Amino acid sequence: MTPPHDLEHEAPTRAVSLQAAPGSSHDHLDLDDRRRLLHLMLTTRAIEERGLLLYKQGKVPGSFYDGRGQEATAVGATYALGADDPVCPLIRDMGAHVVKGTSTAGILGQYLGRAGGVSGGREGNVHFGDWHRGVIPMVSMLPDMMVVATGMAMGFRMRGERRCALSFFGDGATSRGDWHEAMNWAAVQQLPVIFVLENNQLAYSTPLTQQFRVNPVERAAGYGMPAVTVDGNDVEAVFDATREARLRALDGGGPTLIEAVTMRMHGHGAHDDAAYVSPEVLAAWQEKDPIVRQAQRLSALGVDVDAVADEVKAEVADALAEALAMPVPDPATILDGLYCESEPQIVGRGDAPWSGHGDEAWGGADA
Ligand SMILES: Cc1ncc(C[n+]2csc(CCOP(=O)(O)OP(=O)(O)O)c2C)c(N)n1
Ligand SMILES: [Mg+2]
């Protein structure tokens, strides 16, 4: 058992080496994949940057949260999922929505509370999801999306469907009882589920030292579950760990805990200036920015990364214009969707852009 801070004594944070994980990436990602990963991370960041500006202009009702600095974790993990594998994103995981194919205009419209937003402008900018694409809207109680993912995995098992579920959650969530219950049940039942712990060093203003006395990833052994720590700012390393976990899950090998070590580069929400994080710590993590790192990797391979950035800029500008033109919801529809008034529908298929996916189908409703 090692204490949580053995890897970096000076800074009060948990870090991993910048080396790529052994056996990572290049065996499974072609150059188009690697370029696409950059595109997806840039899109994720651009959406959130634009959202924050809209919030500061007073155009976003409610509060505003982002996952700046954590794009590699959400994008890399979701990129490994198949079309039929649902994902449960939290507030740092905009990249999961983007990889699954939720439109940028729909997300910006959601921020703005417009009828054309992902869920018609309901649920504000935090709790939305597009379950038609396998993106499950989050519930706030942490880490209850782990329980939801575990339940979905039970369903897949019972129906004989070859698919797995993935849930993200933060370091803070690991101290809750529901976390332990989900870990235990998933392991006992050997369910096809992947748990991605985003260790971003903080739970609101609480540092890791106030949260646990062990590396959180080591807790998996107590439940008989394999676990791995990856550099959460390396999109290809996160992809590779998730790809392996997914294969294990689909082949009956049960759940995996992946700890992605990263940093929350902004406050908990836009209302929080994070004055409790030292500028030196932030500067050190800025050096490990996941987007810069992927861009450097691709530049070295001769990819025109400026062209990728220009594509994203144009796409997000178009999407913003589309979102701003969306009407607000009709107040007469306010009660729509509160109760299930039709046949319950099965979680649908999302995009699965990884080139390594073959024609996988679980034989369900929309296959
Ligand atoms: C059970 C529960 N307690 C408290 C909260 C309020 N809350 C929302 S996010 C958050 C911090 C969570 O930290 P962590 O799990 O590390 O995720 P991060 O915000 O760092 O991504 C808290 C305390 C909540 N949503 N659920
Ligand atoms: Mg955290």
Is 0.85 surpassed by the pTM of this model? yes
Report residues near ion ligand 2: CB below 5 Å. 170-171, 200, 203
What are the phi and psi torsion angles at 286 (to 5°)?
-60, -35
The number of the ligand nearest the C-alpha atom of 69 reads 1
161, 364 contact by CB (below 8 A): yes
Q: Residue 329 C-alpha to ligand 2 middle, in angstroms?
A: 34
Ligand positioned closest to the Cα atom of 142: 1
Neighbours of 275 (CB within 10 A): 8
Cα-flanking dihedrals φ and ψ of residue 256, to 5°? -135, 140
Q: CB of 171 closer than 6 A to ligand 1?
A: yes
Beta pairing, strands 202-203 & 206-207: antiparallel
208 lines ligand 1 (CB under 6 A): no
- In the chain, the amino acid numbered 45 is R
Q: Which ligand is nearest to the CA of 175?
A: 1
Q: What's the 274 CA to ligand 1 centre distance in angstroms?
A: 15
- In the chain the domains, ranked by start, together with CATH numbers, are 31-328 (3.40.50.970)
Cβ atoms < 10 Å from Cβ of 141: 11
Nearest to 347 by CA among 145, 111, 127, 88: 88
Spatial CB neighbours of 55, under 8 Å, sequence gap ≥ 6: 64, 111, 270
Q: What are phi and psi of 56, to 5 degrees?
A: -65, -25
Q: What's the pLDDT at 90?
A: 97
Of 197, 196, 261, 253, nearest to 225 by C-alpha is 253
Nearest atom in ligand 1 to the alpha carbon of residue 70 is: 21
> Digits of tens for pLDDT over the chain (367 positions)?
444 433 343 334 566 544 444 444 568 999 999 999 999 999 999 999 999 999 999 999 999 999 999 999 999 999 999 999 999 999 999 999 999 999 999 999 999 999 999 999 888 778 899 999 999 999 999 999 999 999 999 999 999 999 999 999 999 999 999 999 999 999 999 999 999 999 999 999 999 999 999 999 999 999 999 999 999 999 999 999 999 999 999 999 999 999 999 999 999 999 999 999 999 999 999 999 999 999 999 999 999 999 999 999 999 999 999 999 999 999 999 888 888 888 877 899 999 999 999 766 665 544 4
In short, whether 204's Cβ falls inside 6 Å of ligand 1 is: yes
Closest CA to 81 of 193, 237, 220, 159: 193
* Mutational test site, ligand 1, from 64, 65, 142, 208, max ligand atoms within 8 Å of CB: 142
Q: Is the CB of 138 under 6 A from ligand 1?
A: no
